[in-house]
């Protein structure tokens, strides 16, 4: 593995990209979108004590979303597109090895994706400075995860372009895989979670009501605030289905947006609520880990303990983080695809993907 | 003593049930230009891909300067320069950058690669266009860029797939001179082409490929000695008027002598017969202005082999 040759290949890719006008148009459109999004986030989070965390996390999410939307087109044809243009074989015949070609193209695709993050950087700075209150740990971790996610998508695109022969097909497949992670996990979570059903037992007993409110054991009509004295009906028990999202919450672990939320340390505000969008998403996902109560009792004739919901802090403390599992799965997927692409692109070629020629 | 720079023995390669190369054995000498001649679809490009270390043969073995490109592709690639038939150029890079980048991929230092690019641009006649993006180059200019790219690391073995296609006459003459000079330095050059008259002027040896197999040297010799056609033109009369005196001088039936534009065509079985025929024409006092083989030897052999294969 020669770093000089690897970088020569990456540089070659980048050089061709920066010399096309459409690339700058794309970055310009992206900047315009961010201007709008940042402005609206300031309006939206303006009511909060400090708008920084909310605006910052929104801009990071929009950056991730746009990279997910654009990156497959930029990386998903890097190898088979070169083969179609007859520029792959002249590189393969040099001392550059298959590994250097693959990794060089991967590095180039990663840097290309990072260019979008770079365009977003001024807006992140504006959110931090103008909004105030953004925690350094939030910035550090969310940016690291964003960079890693951009790399994963770039690797998947480059690998698929080496595995599949037709550029159009590999770009579409890259979109499908990325969509499976970003949207498919959510759909799977919803559909599977709502079809796994447990039997919940409900027991309830209510007071016997007369004309003037509940009937009382002592015949009076003023026992409404004294459950001990209320005449009670029989206990009624029945079952009702309870959806078990706690069995499929892990499906969300591989979702890029969830990984970003789950990894970033959550800061809680004075009333105990998350400060940013990351925190709210993290809280929502973590909550699904908690198994629902299968026995539910409702008794009008006894002093019920006041129903108490766990605070965000308690939820975060009693549930487990999953981002490293999700990121690990994504890294394995990307690495596996790259290995497959290596086998498909290796020269001297023994078997060629159907419908391709070397040159 | 010249050693073979390229050796192929019993090489075979198929794609599914298309048998592109069935049985190829050839040797190309160092210091010589060897022509690879064959009709479309005869397996020339597939063979060159195997020699260029891009495609592994199903059977048989290949040696490039003594190195097996399947076992040690890196060593073979350091020795060989390959110019593909379908020439892809990085559209937004200039010719100079293209050569420098390729040089960098052959582990040349940036400085060395830049010097080499300047030198090669001169050699292939692209010095004026060195800084124009490759997409504005014409087909012939791209072809020259492809040749420069193949030469950047000063390879001992050159594999050129249709290098002359798209070149104008002057560029062809330049290419011919460049190839002769490269061969004179002791390089091995294998060149495939359809333009047999061009090939004829530059090659020392020829390998004939028909339906994926090399033709044996006996078969080639046989084809080469078969009757060839010669063009004859007399100085003082047109072709129609020439038929009778020429036929009489050579002792052939005038009714069987075809006319092609200004010339009449006569078949001779061998060079000796042709020489004797010319002597007879001069002897008969005819003003012979032109007396030449109608087809080159390669073309003649090629057409004969191709006809025989059908």
Asked if B38 has any chain A CB less than 8 Å from its own CB, the reply is no
Answer whether residue B2 shows pLDDT above 60: no
Q: What is the pLDDT of residue A305?
A: 63
Residue A348 preceded by cis peptide, ω within 30: yes
Strands A236-243 and A197-205: antiparallel
pLDDT of residue B310: 43
Mean pLDDT to the nearest integer, A194-216: 81
**What's the pLDDT at A236?**
85
Output the pLDDT for position B220: 76
pLDDT the model gives residue A255: 93
Residue A167 carries which DSSP code?
H
Q: What pLDDT score was predicted for residue A340?
A: 95
Q: Say if B89 is an interface residue toward chain A (CB within 8 Å).
A: yes
Residue A269 has a pLDDT of: 82
Give the pTM. 0.86
Chain B positions touching A91 (Cβ under 8 A) are 105
Domain ranges of chain B: 4-214, 223-309
Asked whether the predicted pLDDT for residue A297 surpasses 90, the reply is no
Residue, of A177 and B307, whose pLDDT is higher = A177
Q: Cα distance from A110 to chain B (closest Cα, Å)? A: 20
CATH architecture for the domain at B4-214: 3-Layer(aba) Sandwich (3.40)
Do B249 and B309 form a contact (C-beta atoms < 8 A)?
Answer: no
B contact residues 59-88, partner A, Cβ 8 Å cutoff: 69-70, 73-74, 77-78, 80, 82, 84-88
CA distance A271 to chain B (A): 57
pLDDT of the residue at B38:
85
Q: Residues A220-227: contacts with CB within 8 Å, 24+ apart?
A: A227/A300, A227/A301, A227/A302, A227/A303
CA distance A178 to A278: 20
Separation between Cα atoms, residue B288 and residue A12, nearest integer Å:
62
Q: State what percent of residues in chain A have pLDDT above 70.
A: 96
Query: Could you tell me the pLDDT band of residue A356, with boundaries at 50, 70 and 90?
Result: low
Chain B residue with Cα closest to A20: B92
- Cβ distance of A359 and B84 shorter than 8 Å: yes
Residue A175 pLDDT > 70: yes
Q: Across the interface, do A91 and B105 touch by the CB < 8 Å criterion?
A: yes
Measure the CA–CA gap between B68 and B11, rounded to whole angstroms: 13
A348 touches chain B (CB under 8 A): yes
A87 and B92: CB-CB below 8 Å? Answer: no
- Whether chain B has a CB inside 8 Å of the CB on A350: the answer is yes
B191 — pLDDT class (breaks 50, 70, 90): very high
DSSP β-bridge partners for residue A209: A214
Per-residue pLDDT tens over the stretch A28-49: 999 999 999 988 988 888 777 7
- CB distance A347–B54 less than 8 Å? yes
Whether residue A12 lies within 8 A of chain B, CB to CB, comes out as yes
Residue scoring higher pLDDT (B49 or A356) = B49
Q: Which residues contact B73 (CB under 8 A, 6 or more apart)?
A: A347, A348, B53
pLDDT band, residue B196 (cuts 50/70/90): confident
Rounded average pLDDT over A239-252: 87
Flag if B53 and A93 touch (Cβ within 8 Å).
yes
- The model's pLDDT over A113-137, given as tens digits with 9 standing for 90+, comes to 999 999 999 998 988 888 777 888 8
Segment B300-309 shows an average pLDDT of 71
What's the CATH architecture for B223-309? 2-Layer Sandwich (3.30)
A to B CB pairs, distance under 8 Å: 90
CA within 13 Å, CB half, B220? 17
pLDDT tens digits, one per residue of A84-115: 888 999 999 999 999 999 999 999 999 999 99
Residue B69: list chain A partners with CB under 8 A. Answer: 348
Element housing A322 (H / E): none
Q: Where is average pLDDT lowest: A124-138, A212-226, B65-79, B194-208?
A: A212-226
| pLDDT computed for residue B299 by the predictor | 80
pLDDT of residue A144: 94
State the average pLDDT for chain B: 87
Which runs of consecutive H residues, i.e. helices, occur in chain A?
A: 3-18, 21-44, 52-75, 78-84, 89-92, 98-126, 136-163, 167-179, 185-195, 256-263, 277-287, 312-318, 323-345
Q: What is the pLDDT confidence band of residue B254, given thresholds at 50, 70 and 90?
A: confident
Answer with the residue of higher pLDDT: A42 or A50: A42
Which site among B15, B41, B54, B63 would you substitute to test the A interface, given the most A Cβ atoms closer than 10 Å to its Cβ? B54
pLDDT higher than threshold 50 for residue A183: yes
- pLDDT at residue B146 above 50? yes
CB < 8 Å to A16, chain B: 90-93
Token pair recorded at residue B76? 């073979």
Contact B93 A5 (CB under 8 A): no
pLDDT at B137: 87
For chain A, percent of residues with pLDDT exceeding 90 = 40
Rounded Cα distance between B258 and A333, Å, is 73
- Mean pLDDT for all residues in chain A: 87
Contact B93 A16 (CB under 8 A): yes
Contact criterion met (CB below 8 Å) for B130 and B121: yes
CB contact (8 A) between residue A5 and residue B104: yes
In angstroms, the separation between the Cα of residue B54 and the nearest Cα of chain A is 4
Nearest Cβ partner of B77 from A11, A12, A93?
A: A93
Neighbouring CB atoms inside 10 A of B230's CB total 20
> Is pLDDT larger for residue B212 or for residue B166?
B212
**For the residues B24-42, what does the mean pLDDT come to?**
89
Q: Of the ranges A23-32, A196-205, B85-94, B262-271, which is most confident?
A: A23-32
* CA distance to partner chain B, nearest, from residue A100 (Å): 10
| A95 contact residues in B (CB cutoff 8 A) | 74, 77-78, 105-107
The answer to whether B90 faces chain A, any CB pair under 8 Å, is yes
Asked if residue B159 has pLDDT above 90, the reply is yes
**In angstroms, what separates the C-alpha of B30 from chain A's closest C-alpha?**
21
Q: Å from B16 to nearest chain A CA?
A: 9
Contact B55 A358 (CB under 8 A): yes
Token reading at A13: 């890719």
**Complex ipTM value:** 0.83
pLDDT of residue A174: 94
| Residue among A252, A336, A256, A277 nearest A68 (CA) | A256
CA separation for the pair A191, A252 (Å, rounded): 12
Per-residue confidence at B25, pLDDT binned at 50, 70, 90? very high
Q: Chain B residues with CB inside 8 Å of A24's CB?
A: none
Rounded-to-integer distance, Cα A56 and Cα A279, Å: 12
- How high is the pLDDT of residue B16? 82
**Higher-pLDDT residue of A129, B64:** B64
């Amino acid at each position: 593995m020669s770093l000089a040759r690897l970088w020569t290949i990456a540089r070659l890719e980048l050089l061709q990209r920066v010399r096309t006008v459409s690339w700058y148009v794309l970055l310009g459109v992206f900047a315009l979108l961010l201007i709008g999004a940042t402005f609206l986030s300031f309006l939206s989070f303006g009511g909060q004590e400090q708008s920084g965390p909310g605006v910052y996390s929104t801009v990071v999410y929009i950056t991730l979303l746009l990279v997910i939307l654009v990156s497959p087109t930029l990386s998903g044809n890097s190898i088979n597109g070169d083969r179609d243009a007859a520029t792959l074989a002249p590189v393969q015949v040099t001392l550059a090895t298959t590994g250097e070609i693959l990794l060089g193209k991967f590095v180039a695709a990663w840097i290309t994706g990072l260019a979008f993050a770079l365009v977003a950087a001024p807006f992140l700075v504006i959110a931090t400075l103008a909004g105030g209150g953004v925690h350094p740990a939030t910035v550090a971790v969310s940016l690291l995860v964003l960079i890693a996610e951009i790399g994963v998508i770039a690797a998947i695109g480059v690998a698929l372009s080496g595995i599949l022969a037709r550029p159009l097909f590999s770009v579409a497949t890259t979109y499908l895989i990325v969509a499976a992670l970003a949207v498919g996990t959510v759909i799977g979570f919803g559909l599977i979670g709502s079809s796994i059903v447990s039997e919940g037992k409900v027991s309830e007993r209510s007071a016997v009501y007369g004309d003037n409110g509940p009937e009382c054991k002592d015949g009076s009509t003023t026992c409404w605030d004294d459950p001990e004295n209320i005449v009670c009906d029989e206990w009624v028990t029945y079952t009702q289905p309870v959806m078990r999202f706690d069995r499929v919450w892990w499906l969300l672990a591989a979702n890029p947006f969830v990984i970003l939320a789950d990894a970033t340390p959550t800061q809680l505000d004075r009333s105990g609520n998350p400060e940013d969008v990351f925190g709210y998403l993290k809280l929502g996902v973590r909550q699904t880990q908690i198994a629902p109560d299968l026995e539910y009792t409702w008794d009008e004739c006894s002093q019920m303990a006041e129903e108490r919901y766990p605070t965000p802090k308690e939820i975060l403390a009693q549930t487990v983080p999953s981002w490293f599992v999700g990121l690990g799965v994504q890294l394995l997927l990307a690495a596996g695809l790259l290995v497959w692409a290596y086998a498909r692109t290796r020269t001297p070629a023994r078997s060629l993907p159907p419908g391709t020629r070397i040159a | 003593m010249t050693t073979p720079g390229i050796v192929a023995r019993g090489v075979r390669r198929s794609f599914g049930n298309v048998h592109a190369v069935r049985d190829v054995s050839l040797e190309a000498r160092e210091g010589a230009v060897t022509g690879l001649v064959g009709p479309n679809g005869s397996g020339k490009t597939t063979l060159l891909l195997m020699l260029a270390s891009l495609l592994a043969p199903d059977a048989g073995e290949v040696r490039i300067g003594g190195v097996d490109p399947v076992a040690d592709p890196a060593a073979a690639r350091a020795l060989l320069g390959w110019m593909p038939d379908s020439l892809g150029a990085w559209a937004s890079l200039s010719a100079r950058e293209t050569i420098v980048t390729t040089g960098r991929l052959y582990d040349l230092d940036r400085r060395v690669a830049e010097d080499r690019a300047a030198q090669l641009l001169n050699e292939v006649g692209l010095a004026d266009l060195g800084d124009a993006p490759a997409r504005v180059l014409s087909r012939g200019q791209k072809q020259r860029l492809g040749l420069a790219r193949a030469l950047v690391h000063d390879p001992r073995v050159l594999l050129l797939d249709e290098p002359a296609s798209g070149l104008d006459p002057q560029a062809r003459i330049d290419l011919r001179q460049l190839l002769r000079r490269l061969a004179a330095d002791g390089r091995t050059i294998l060149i495939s082409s359809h333009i047999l008259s061009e090939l004829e002027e530059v090659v020392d040896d020829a390998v004939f490929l028909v339906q994926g197999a090399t033709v044996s040297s006996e078969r080639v010799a046989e084809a080469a000695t078969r009757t060839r056609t010669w063009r004859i033109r007399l100085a003082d009369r047109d072709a129609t008027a020439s038929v009778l005196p020429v036929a009489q001088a050579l002792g052939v039936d005038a009714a069987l002598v075809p006319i092609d534009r200004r010339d009449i065509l006569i078949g001779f079985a061998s060079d000796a017969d042709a020489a004797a025929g010319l002597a007879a024409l001069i002897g008969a006092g005819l003003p012979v202005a032109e007396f030449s083989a109608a087809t080159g030897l390669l073309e003649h052999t090629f057409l004969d082999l191709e006809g025989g294969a059908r």
